[in-house]
Structure 1
Amino acid sequence: MDDADAPDSGPPLETIESVFAVYETRTDGEQLLYYGDPLLAPESAMEELWPTFRDAGYEVQLTRRHGEFVLVAEPTDVGIDGIPWTNVVLFVATVFSTLFAGAQWYYVNPLEDPVGAALEAWPFTVAILGVLGVHEMGHYVMSRYHRVDASLPYFLPVPTLIGTMGAVIKMKGRMPDRKALFDIGVAGPIAGLVATVLVTVVGLHLDPVTAPQSVVNDPNSIQIRLGYPPLLELLASAFDQSLYRDDPAKAVNPVVIGGWVGMFVTFLNLIPVGQLDGGHILRAMVGDLQETVAALVPGVLLGLAGYLYYVADYSGNSVFVWVFWGLFAALIAAAGPARPVEDDHLDTGRIVLGVVTFAFGVLCFMPVPIEIVG
């Protein structure tokens, strides 16, 4: 065992011992271990110590090992170390999966003509990956700004109607304060919405796709109807563009579907539960009251599913999305929100921005996102 001398790296002991009386130090790989006794309540001790370790480049946790209190400090790294191969491989796989899915929106069979399908569907892929990537990079850039360790986006290639289940970033460590929690949470939806509006406007000005007559006349064909959120309706109206609701042979250009995805993702991420973007934003705005709101959300989503199924007479496949998200919201609400180390009140400007962001989230809501008719 070492004595209580400070390790070669990490904060000086004199900056620790007013809060945590150290009687032994150890190193375990890159970890620094400080054994001792907290001189304040554990939560208060962490509030005092966390900024000290953060300034020294470490993320710290107070835990117990074999009955002893120990501060475990791990070096933080907010940069990119080498080539992120996992991110790259998932991105490339998502490019292929969205090209495959997108070809079918253009009525091209990707199995019969893969090259032609790729040449036809690339605008769809750019639109989808653009809105998802910009959303996640908003989180990443703001995480770097606040010196919170975060990964680059992981895209999720899944054989769905759009070829992906979205993208996520992985965050490590604690949020330093409510400002960081808010800024990181709100940056994704705002950046994503800007990209979504641009993609939608471009798509609305592109030629619609026309279904082959054989598909239109086939009584066994399956029709996929997308619900249009108010924001999409407003953009179509503002630019005097048609959404081709009443023409069974025509549909909006698939690039518009990229904008639709951006709006749907924005709404889902702004659901104010757990560690979704909406949960981060609302927790920063109202503190612990967020957990009360989050407890109500699953019931609202499941109630919406019940209304659509039993009263509005929609099919099960049309309302399943809200059953899934109701159960998922209950799960992540139970896990709780992120808790910043410094839990002071948020400034008025950020609160106003949060309200505006949630308002845009409402404009992205659609009661029945997808209806399959066959």
Structure 2
Amino acid sequence: MLVATIHQHASLTARCLSLPAHRVQPRGARRNLWSPVRAQQQPGDGSGSGEDVPPPPAAEQPPPSAPAVATEEPPAAEDANLQLPPEVIQRLRTTVFGFDTFFVTGVENYQADGVLFRGNLRGEPAAAYAKLTARLQAELGEQYKLYLLENREELPVAVVLPLASVLPQLGPLPEQLLAAGLGLASVATTLNIFGADLFNAALLTANWDAAAVAAAAPGAAAFVGILGVHELAHAVVAKQRGLQLAPPIFIPAGLGLLGSFGAVTRFKSFVPTRADLAAVAAAGPLASSAVAAAVMLAGAALSAQGVGGIELAVDSFKESLLAGALGQAVFGDQLFTMEAVDTNPLFVAGWAGLIINAINCLPVGELDGGRTFLGLCGRRAAARVGAVTLLLLGLAGFSNSLSLFWLILVVTLQRGPILPCDQELSSIEDAGTKYAAIAALVLPLLVLLPYPAVLSITNGLPDLPPTF
């Protein structure tokens, strides 16, 4: 059910993002493979030359008192070939779009049920979008959704889709049941990682070791708490910005130190801007990493006092810049002369939390890092960097188990594309949001690079040290 849910969300996103290139290729020309679905060019829309029709000279523009009209009334035959009703196209052309917002130069079919308007943006994107949506609602009510995006040539386009085709299709009850079930499974796998040994035949009898579960509880609770802070921070920032999130769906792991791979979280409401997307995405890993670092420091202090419980191979400290530096500060230079070191479960929980948050900040797919990078740099840059990140994960997967597992997770559940914002033409202006996004993207460098920080593709993500 989880895979079906994510794929349903990805299908919806793809409908909103397969924007055709602005220029029309002649018959026999090589197809632009950027989009899997090619828009249908409509005759008589003023785009036959492949260039935008320039805006009319000042003399032809309506006087200030005249109503804004984007284009001349189109032929009825042209509108009849489009996927929205001709009367809707007519009202969009003459009432919604205008000289003061978006000057339409061409109209074409978009995917299975939408229409794409090419043209020239007038004024600031945020102000133009506010006017367009207000006019759309006044003219056509809540029947249609409008996006203001960039096409592959970084030119502005407006996409209008029936609202029914972009609303989430999964009911709340199945999603809540899925979230609850996988959440409980993640708690079980986390307890198992910290020594509860739940997954054996003894669990089904009266002879299973309750004391082992009690001993594993502090470390497991710390790790689950770190994950909870991650999701809580997402929810708090989303609420501050008037957005709604679906229940987080945790992915059980039970691999090395990791009891869970974190959660898949989707938006239930439309995201207005790239700044909103980046703010919500970056909040989770930043808040959770701060808590994880504090838990790790507390565990390091207890470990230095001889309060241990979990043996870690010393070589594992060499695989994380942050963990190596902290380990050397606590245990001294002799750390790397030993084979193993006895550590407190809180140290392990904090380290595992940092690893999860750092991996989630990788700029790929619908991970927090992918959403943050898109918000900061735009969709084209995010697509390119995401492809490079996937390639590096694939190469690292030949020698590193965690890289391979995370590559599989991204490809199957989190590959995207990211659901578009209402308008993606505006960059992030708030300095706080911008710095938070940059900090989130720097986190993987601090946690995942080896100690000393030697850049090597084959090192990949830090291998998970043995817990027993």
Q: Same fold (TM over 0.5)?
A: yes
Question: For 1:259, which of 350, 357, 362 is the aligned residue?
Answer: 350
Q: Structure 1 residues 148, 323: CA separation in 2 closer, same or farther (over 3 Å shift)? A: same
- For structure 2, which runs of at least 5 residues remain unmatched after alignment? 1-68, 71-86, 98-106, 108-114, 119-127, 148-159, 450-458
- Distance in 1 between the 2:167 and 2:467 partners? 54
The alignment covers a number of residue pairs equal to 310
Name the SS of the counterpart of 1:251 in structure 2. strand
Equivalent residue for 1:153?
A: 248
Amino acid at match of 2:428: L
Does the CA-based 8 Å contact 1:210-1:249 persist in structure 2? no
Normalising by structure 2, what TM-score?
0.55
Partner deviation per Cα, 1:211-250 (whole Å, 9 max, x = no partner):
7xxxxxxxxxx98964542222333455667996554564
Q: Does residue 393 of structure 2 align to residue 301 of structure 1?
A: yes
Does the CA-based 8 Å contact 2:374-2:382 persist in structure 1? yes
Partner deviation per Cα, 1:135-175 (whole Å, 9 max, x = no partner):
12211222222222212333334444443332232322431
Name the SS of the counterpart of 1:147 in structure 2. coil
Equivalent residue for 1:289?
A: 381
Amino acid at match of 1:121: A
Name the SS of the counterpart of 1:354 in structure 2. helix
Q: Structure 1 residues 151, 145: CA separation in 2 closer, same or farther (over 3 Å shift)? A: same
- Distance in 2 between the 1:331 and 1:93 partners? 19
- Distance in 1 between the 2:407 and 2:176 partners? 34
Q: Structure 1 residues 275, 85: CA separation in 2 closer, same or farther (over 3 Å shift)? A: closer
Per the TM alignment, residue 190 of structure 1 is displaced from its structure 2 partner at its CA by: 0.7
Question: For 1:132, which of 214, 227, 231 is the aligned residue?
Answer: 227
Name the SS of the counterpart of 2:261 in structure 1. strand
Name the SS of the counterpart of 1:164 in structure 2. strand
Q: State the percentage of identical aligned residues.
A: 21
Per the TM alignment, residue 71 of structure 1 is displaced from its structure 2 partner at its CA by: 4.1
Name the SS of the counterpart of 1:272 in structure 2. coil
Equivalent residue for 1:362?
A: 445
User: What does residue range 97-116 of structure 1 map to in structure 2 within 5 Å?
Assistant: 97-103=189-195, 111=203, 113-116=208-211
- Distance in 2 between the 1:127 and 1:59 partners? 47
Per the TM alignment, residue 283 of structure 1 is displaced from its structure 2 partner at its CA by: 0.9
Question: For 1:346, which of 416, 421, 428 is the aligned residue?
Answer: 428
Per the TM alignment, residue 335 of structure 1 is displaced from its structure 2 partner at its CA by: 3.6
Partner deviation per Cα, 1:287-314 (whole Å, 9 max, x = no partner):
12221222222222233345xx4xxxxx
Does the CA-based 8 Å contact 1:225-1:372 persist in structure 2? no
Does the CA-based 8 Å contact 1:134-1:192 persist in structure 2? yes
Is the radius of gyration larger for structure 1 or structure 2?
Answer: 2
- Distance in 2 between the 1:117 and 1:359 partners? 38
- Distance in 1 between the 2:365 and 2:384 partners? 11
Does the CA-based 8 Å contact 2:314-2:336 persist in structure 1? no
Equivalent residue for 2:88?
A: 36
Amino acid at match of 1:266: N
- Distance in 1 between the 2:408 and 2:253 partners? 21
Equivalent residue for 1:28?
A: none
Does the CA-based 8 Å contact 1:148-1:175 persist in structure 2? yes
Name the SS of the counterpart of 1:130 in structure 2. helix
Per the TM alignment, residue 182 of structure 1 is displaced from its structure 2 partner at its CA by: 1.0
Equivalent residue for 1:231?
A: 322
Equivalent residue for 1:209?
A: 309
Q: Structure 1 residues 148, 98: CA separation in 2 closer, same or farther (over 3 Å shift)? A: same
- Distance in 2 between the 1:338 and 1:243 partners? 50
Per the TM alignment, residue 342 of structure 1 is displaced from its structure 2 partner at its CA by: 2.1
Equivalent residue for 2:454?
A: none
Does the CA-based 8 Å contact 1:225-1:373 persist in structure 2? no
Does the CA-based 8 Å contact 1:243-1:252 persist in structure 2? no
Equivalent residue for 1:119?
A: 214
Per the TM alignment, residue 345 of structure 1 is displaced from its structure 2 partner at its CA by: 1.4
Q: Structure 1 residues 91, 224: CA separation in 2 closer, same or farther (over 3 Å shift)? A: farther
Name the SS of the counterpart of 2:448 in structure 1. coil
Name the SS of the counterpart of 1:370 in structure 2. coil
- Distance in 2 between the 1:339 and 1:204 partners? 43
Q: Structure 1 residues 223, 187: CA separation in 2 closer, same or farther (over 3 Å shift)? A: closer
Name the SS of the counterpart of 2:262 in structure 1. strand
- For structure 1, which runs of at least 5 residues remain unmatched after alignment? 1-17, 20-34, 212-221, 310-318
Q: CA RMSD in A?
A: 4.4
